[in-house]
Amino acid sequence: MKIRIVSGEVNKKTGPVRDIVVDIEYLDVAMETGTEFEHDIKKGNRAFAYVIEGSGYFDSEKKRNIGKEHLVIFKDGDNVKIAANDTVLRFLLISGKPLGEPVAWRGPIVMNTHEELQVAFDEYRNGTFIKHKI
């Protein structure tokens, strides 16, 4: 099994993405056939897994086989138990505390209000949307 920590801390190892506004855990997990993975989600956090390759079971009872390009949403503070079946399984496991903010979304832009969306699209049209160029 290979676990790449993108963000967050697991078993006293920290991922390279740090100093961001919210505390998230972002793991890229690759499992061999027949292996199992168990991980605690922090209380108060929401989590989901997105299957990139293969298939496996994302519950301790192994009731439903979840395959490539599917998303599994876990409950608050879950102990996640994942088992690879007869194929290699690779998935992203992402968790974090919900922001609880309103969401206004149109196309590729997400803001908190429709007014902010309008300003963002105006800035995009005027070429001033991106404030810091790399």
Phi, psi of 116 (to 5 degrees): -65, -35
| pLDDT confidence of residue 71 | 97
pLDDT grade for 20, boundaries at 50, 70 and 90: confident
- The structure tokens listed for 54 are 């293969």
Whether residue 126 is predicted with pLDDT greater than 90 in this model: the reply is: yes
Q: If phi over 0 gives left and psi between -120 and 50 gives alpha, with beta otherwise, what is residue 8?
A: left
Give the mean pLDDT of 4-29.
90
Q: Indicate the class that CATH gives domain 2-96.
A: mainly beta
Please state, in angstroms and rounded to a whole number, the distance separating the CA atoms of residues 48 and 73.
4
Q: Which residues pair with 28 in a beta bridge?
A: 4, 92
Residue predicted with more confidence, 89 or 21: 89
Strands (E), 8-119: 9-10, 13-14, 24-31, 36-40, 46-53, 55-57, 65-67, 71-74, 79-84, 89-96, 104-106, 109-111
pTM: 0.79
What residue segments make up the domains of the chain, in order of their start? 2-96, 101-134
Tens of pLDDT, residues 96-119: 998 889 999 999 999 999 999 999
pLDDT at 26 over 70: yes
The DSSP call for residue 75 is P
Q: Give CA–CA dist 131/8, Å, rounded.
A: 27
